[in-house]
Amino acid sequence: MTADFVNPYTFIPLPAAVVRREPPGHAPTADEAGTRYVGSFTVTWHLEAQMAVPTDEWGALGGTIRIPGSSVKGAVRSVHEALFGGCLRQVDLDFSPTYRDLPKPKGMIGWRMAVVLRPGWDDGPLRVLLCAEHDLPIPTVRARTLLHSPQLGGSIPQTGDLIEVGALADVRNGKGHLVRRRADTILGWTRAPQNPSHYEQHAGKYLLLVTSQGARKDNHDWHWAIAPLTEEIRTLSEDAVRKYQGRSVGAKESGTPGAGGLIDVKQGRDLLARRRPQAVDLVPGDVVWVQEDGVEVEDVRLSQIWRRRLGSDEAVRRRIPDATHPCADAELCLTCAVFGSADTHNEEFKPRRLKEGKQNSYAGHVRFGSAALMGPVGSTEALAPLAQPNLGSGVSYLQPQQNPPDPDGPDARLTHWERERGWRQLRGRKFYWHSDPEDQRRELEQRTNGRPVDYRYLKRNNHADNACSVALVLNPGQRFTQKVTFDGLDEIGLQTLLAAIEPRRVLDGEGPYALHLGRGKPLGLGSVRAEISGLQVTTVRDRYSRGDSRDALPSFEAVDVNLMRERCGPLSDAHQAARKILSLNGLGDNQWKVSYPTLAPWSAFGRVVDGRSAFDESFEFFKEHNGPADRPKEARHYRWTPGKWTPMPEARDADQRWGR
């Protein structure tokens, strides 16, 4: 199936080098005071599309909406970094991605089921009560056999319940291979103890672990893992907890907790059991899988097929040029010299610096007041879900791989970061395309045969309530006004500050150029065009001078190309991408096609069948295009499916449709 959409975001390339210099400082000498500038200006932000703002924090309809100055400053700083070769100020150099495990027949060797207990003493580490070691395959109980057992008396089973079973039955496939060891007879049942320490009184009973539907099919039997409790207790090591938390960060909880904090697990419409929600922190009563060394637990996972996190040698710092790491010394990139630099990195050296009373932070020269809109016009709306950024998705975040995969090679999915695939670098700084929800709605109405179509940014019937949020959606055509002051900037600093707000001052091209403010950028919201007025500039020397002579002022209407080249280095690649990305017309005729990835045609937008919308199922696109591993029936190992590695277009590409 051919895709026909434009991804909501793309990337402005990183500079190969970041030019760092001594910043202008906040106490210029008498000679410097004539070329250091102070003053203010007003920014009018024109809403070119609907804008979503928080319902309470920023104001209310009928009153005044105020966008905090810090929010606007962050958006302007991001543009300044991209246009003028700044460092990556906001980056976690130690981030490494987490991926779902592939099913492996022997992947559970050495793992034991366990239940988490309270610490043995105040503030001590958590402990676990182990289940017995087992041979593969892992013992299971058929979900419906357990649910309908007379021993439960109509109760719904849940994770942590204890059951007594008869002899396990061996289940073999048509070739005689053992595929399951199953408990077919339920002899007794005990509800999960409220006090986890009571598990220690039930040695020999089978502990139940209920998990989410995952890859289970509705037309197949579902099974839950079980294992008999022992009296063995192990301590959770700090390293095990740290690894578990690292793998849990970013994991999506698909269910909504109900009574007792548990999540219903349904096969179709039938409620089979309840499970505990996934969380970043382990708590007493959680049922987990562990690896232990006889003294303490070395690793933890929530299910047999779970998540793995790459090691520190695969971290972000290996995927970006060293020069783009955040400024941490006395010399700063131009962006840090204008907006300021916080000393939050170089942890290895921080203790020594702090001991010596040193810290390489630098205060910015710019202050943004709040942006105010009087008498806002709009409505309170439930927004469609916003996808969580997935930095580990190499198909979109890493530079495209030029060589096609080898279909006869081992599983080596190019969407993953493993270094065996090559040290592909991150594409650059993430920016969202400008797309007009009004234009998109008009185009969709022409493709749905008269079926009513709502804005893409609104919640639809197939969207879960817990995945959506409520916001004030302001109508386009309104204007925010804001006061910006600056003190002690040099010529290139002030010129580039103005250009980060009005990119036309440095970018030629079609324009008009705009930034994003507010929420919902992937949904086409928040495009704002800036207009600077009332620029007042004087030098530091003239501010304190009593004489009539005034220092001559340079022009601040545009960025001096020679000064920019000398201070920032080569920027042509970044500017080429920015001309398209920051332009309100950067996508041309494809502007209305901005959407999360989909394989469905646009005529299917908004159509919901049995609670599902094919248009909203982005995972189907990635399953087809991110270089999936496959295992043909005749093959023993996973291998490549040829022709399905389709990286996201680069910003410089003429056609931004992904999958075409």
Q: Is the same domain home to 122 and 74? A: no
Q: What is the domain range of residue 359?
A: 4-96+324-659
Helix (H) and strand (E) counts in the chain: 12, 33
Average pLDDT over the chain reads 87
- The answer to whether residue 421 scores a pLDDT higher than 80 is no
Q: Is the same domain home to 21 and 63? A: yes
* Across 134-152, average pLDDT: 91
Question: Would 316 be classed as within a structural domain?
Answer: no
- The answer to whether residue 357 scores a pLDDT higher than 70 is no
Domain count, the chain: 2
| Highest mean pLDDT (candidates 240-244, 276-280, 382-386) | 382-386
Question: Would 314 be classed as within a structural domain?
Answer: no
Question: Would 190 be classed as within a structural domain?
Answer: yes
Single-letter residue type at 375: G
**CB–CB of 376/76 below 8 Å?**
no
Q: Is the same domain home to 301 and 337? A: no
Question: Would 303 be classed as within a structural domain?
Answer: yes
Q: Is the same domain home to 212 and 286? A: yes
The last residue of one of the domains, among 261, 280, 309, is 309
* Across 31-38, average pLDDT: 93
Residue 354: the pLDDT is 45
pLDDT confidence band for 586 (50 / 70 / 90): very high
Question: Would 21 be classed as within a structural domain?
Answer: yes
- The answer to whether residue 400 scores a pLDDT higher than 70 is yes
Q: Is the same domain home to 573 and 654? A: yes
pLDDT confidence band for 79 (50 / 70 / 90): very high
Q: Picking from 160-169, 195-204, 446-455, which range would have the lowest pLDDT averaged per residue?
A: 446-455
Q: Picking from 10-14, 62-66, 637-641, 646-650, which range would have the lowest pLDDT averaged per residue?
A: 637-641
Tokens found for residue 258? 């109900």
pLDDT confidence band for 403 (50 / 70 / 90): low
38 or 280: whose pLDDT is higher? 38
Q: Is the same domain home to 277 and 363? A: no
Question: Would 407 be classed as within a structural domain?
Answer: yes
pLDDT confidence band for 551 (50 / 70 / 90): confident
Question: Would 283 be classed as within a structural domain?
Answer: yes
The last residue of one of the domains, among 280, 309, 338, is 309
Residue 620: the pLDDT is 81
Residue 351: the pLDDT is 47
Q: Picking from 329-338, 352-361, 414-423, which range would have the lowest pLDDT averaged per residue?
A: 352-361
* Across 453-462, average pLDDT: 92
**CB–CB of 366/341 below 8 Å?**
no
Residue 346: the pLDDT is 47
Q: Is the same domain home to 369 and 220? A: no
Tokens found for residue 391? 């930095």
* Across 540-557, average pLDDT: 82
**Strands (E) located in 166-302:** 168-172, 178-183, 186-190, 206-209, 223-236, 263-267, 270-275, 287-292, 296-301
Q: Is the same domain home to 509 and 646? A: yes
Residues 6 or more apart whose Cβ sits within 8 Å of residue 475: 47, 50, 377, 378
Question: Would 319 be classed as within a structural domain?
Answer: no
Q: Is the same domain home to 513 and 639? A: yes
DSSP string computed for 329-376: SSSB-HHHHHHEE-----TTTHHHHHHTT----EE-SEEEPPEEEES-
- Hey, how many other C-beta atoms are within 10 angstroms of the C-beta on 432? 20
Q: Is the same domain home to 545 and 488? A: yes
The last residue of one of the domains, among 309, 343, 373, is 309
Q: Is the same domain home to 19 and 107? A: no
Tokens 């309809």 belong to 61
In tens, the pLDDT along 344-356 reads 654 444 444 444 4
- Nearest one of 9, 96, 6, 14 to 427, comparing CA atoms: 14
Tokens 């579902």 belong to 222
pLDDT confidence band for 102 (50 / 70 / 90): low
Element (H, E) at 441: helix 437-445
Q: Picking from 172-181, 250-259, 397-406, which range would have the lowest pLDDT averaged per residue?
A: 397-406
* Across 215-222, average pLDDT: 80
Q: Is the same domain home to 557 and 418? A: yes
Percent of the chain past pLDDT 90, that is, above it, reads 58
